[in-house]
Structure 1
Amino acid sequence: MIVIKNYEEFETHLGKELGVSNWHTITQQQINLFAEATIDHQWIHTDEDRAKTESPFKATIAHGYLTVSLLPYFWHQIADVQNLKMQINYSIENIRFAQAVAVNSRVRLIAKLDAIANLRGITKATIGVTMEIEGEKKPAYTGAVVFLYHFNN
């Protein structure tokens, strides 16, 4: 895990991989809870019997947005951004889903600092993200997240 305490420390990582999170197993319980929270009960996610026979994946799959919602969880395993007044989730950009995540798959996040800017004392960090699926050639998705960090002086 990297520790970042200010803009200058963050900037030294520009263009570099910041780290890789731990693996996380996507369970049916997690998929079902996400379906409840988002009111998205499409059978491909929640009907295990039907998915076994009718789905091209032969199992239920995680909601794409479930995998995206794990970004903060994984990000905090990669970077410990300290000395903050506040952090704001600013945007999610160019997320492209490349591979479905079947139930019981293990996923992890790779993060890279794609861009950084000092906006009148606010650090705007664009983090390139790739969610890998263990044993798969294609990632679950690629894209970028942008955070605004208000560091203490």
Structure 2
Amino acid sequence: MRTIASLEELKSLAGQEVACSEWIAVTQEQVDRFADATGDHQWIHVDPERAARELPYGGTVAHGFLTLALLPRMLSESISLGPDVRMLLNYGLNRVRFPAPLPVGRRVRGVIRLESTEDIPGGIQLAWLITVECEGSDKPVCVAEFLVRRY
């Protein structure tokens, strides 16, 4: 985990790659639970037998939004934003793309770049560009600009 000791240090990292998360396994159980939580039970996600027959990936693929939901974990397990942080808020996303599917059973990790910082009342807004790599794939499975507010 990378620890960023001060606000000044954090601001100085704008425009740079800051961290890379550990690998996270994506399992069929996770995908099934995500399908239950969201109501998205499309067969490409939850029917391994049919997916093995009909998809070119050899099995099911994770929901794009499940991949997206891993971003806070990737950030929190990779970067500590200093001892004076009272609160972090997910402020939203600017851009999101899913350039390649995420086959279930693979592992992913996030390459985390601090795109920019912006002072806000009581804190700072951080724009993180996170490229989610899939083990064994040349293309990322997600690229997203994730906005976080640090107070």
The aligned residue for residue 93 of structure 2 is: 92
Please state which structure has a larger fraction of its residues in strand: 1
Deviation string, structure 1 residues 25-68 (Cα, Å, up to 9, x no partner): 11111111111111111000000111011123231000000010
The aligned amino acid for 2:81 is V
CA distance in 1, matches of 2:42, 2:125: 36
Deviation at 1:5, TM superposition (A): 4.2
User: Can you give the 5+ residue segments of structure 2 that lack an aligned partner in the other structure?
Assistant: none
Question: Residue 8 of structure 1 aligns to a residue in which SS?
Answer: helix
| 1:10-89 pair list within 5 angstroms | 10-82=10-82, 83-89=84-90
Question: What are the within-5 Å matches in structure 2 for residues 104-119 of structure 1?
Answer: 104-119=105-120
| Corresponding position of 1:2 | 2
TM-score (normalised: structure 2): 0.94
CA contact (8 A) 1:7 1:118 kept: no
TM-score w.r.t. length of structure 1: 0.93
Letter in 1 for 2:59: A
Q: Which runs of 4+ in 1 moved over 3 A?
A: none
Q: Secondary structure at the match of 2:86?
A: strand
User: What is the root-mean-square deviation in Å for CA atoms of aligned residues?
Assistant: 1.2
| Structure 1 portions without partners, runs of 5+ | none
Deviation digits for residues 105-144 of structure 1, max 9, x if unmatched?
A: 1100010010001123420110011000011110001121
Q: Cα distance, 1:4 vs. partner?
A: 2.5
Amino acid at match of 1:45: H
The count of aligned residue pairs is 150
